[in-house]
Amino acid sequence: MNNQLNYDGVTNLLSQHGVIVDGAEVHGILSGMLCGGMSLTDRKWMHVLSDTINQGESFNQETQQCLNDLFNLTCEQLLESEYALQLLLPDDKAPINDRGAAIINWVQGFMLGFGLYQQDLVPCSEEVREALEDFANIAQMEEPMSADEESERALFEVMEYVKISALLCYSELGKTLLDDHPEKPSLH
């Protein structure tokens, strides 16, 4: 992963340019849009992001490049294999409450992005609906954690659950590169 495409690099860049979200939230939004069914070749996502996180203003060149790289990396990871998705979160050395806040931001971003592309949960499997319900609960968590082994283990489990749940949403609702070719006959 390029050294700018880590939590601190993306968060600092966004902050320098007046964007009010951290790297976790922006990655969550992108992941949510893709897992909710946005086409991998959809180029409107940058406008959607500017509307949701930058008061409708265009991003400067450096921010656009960073977001583009993050989008491409996320697409690659979702297409690669079942567990390739890496959530953009602070590293393990960061204080536990910073990591906890980041996973909450990621989940809130995911819910936002997912909701932009998938409003109808009726056709979704029970597992996807349950995961989204759990995400809504995770997004509401506010309890500070103590820096002990039990809290570390709990946070790790939440992070793994979030990753696996996002991949579940993608496998059920996400588009593949094959889905992006309109000349493919529809099976509906």
Pick the closest to residue 107 from 138, 74, 86, 84 (CA basis): 138
DSSP letters along 28-40, please?
HHHHHHHHTT--T
- Reading the block at residue 172, the tokens are 């059920």
Distance, in Å, from the CA atom of 37 to the CA atom of 99, rounded to the nearest integer, reads: 28
Length in residues, the chain: 188
83-117: b (≥16 Cβ within 10 Å) or e: eebebbbbeeeeebeebbbbbbbbbbbbbbbbebb
Task: Scan for tokens 């060149």, then name that residue.
Answer: 61
pLDDT value, residue 131: 96
Question: What is the per-residue pLDDT for 3?
Answer: 52
Which residue reads 């491409």 in tokens?
72
Q: What is the DSSP letter of 88?
A: -
- pLDDT of the residue at 185: 43
- In DSSP notation, 168-181 reads HHHHHH---TGGG-
Residues 29, 52 contacting (CB under 8 angstroms)? yes
**Against a cut of 0.85, is the pTM above it?**
yes
Give domain limits for the chain: 7-180
Name the 3-class secondary structure at 140.
coil
Among 3.90.50.10, 3.40.50.1980, 1.20.120.740, 2.30.30.230, name the CATH number for the domain at 7-180.
Answer: 1.20.120.740
Q: How much is the CA Rg of the chain, to the nearest whole Å?
A: 16
Res 180: pLDDT: 62
Mean pLDDT (10-residue bins), the chain, 188 residues: 78 94 97 94 91 93 95 93 88 94 97 92 92 95 89 95 95 80 46
Q: Quick one: pLDDT at residue 144?
A: 86
Under 8 Å between Cβ of 34 and 74: yes
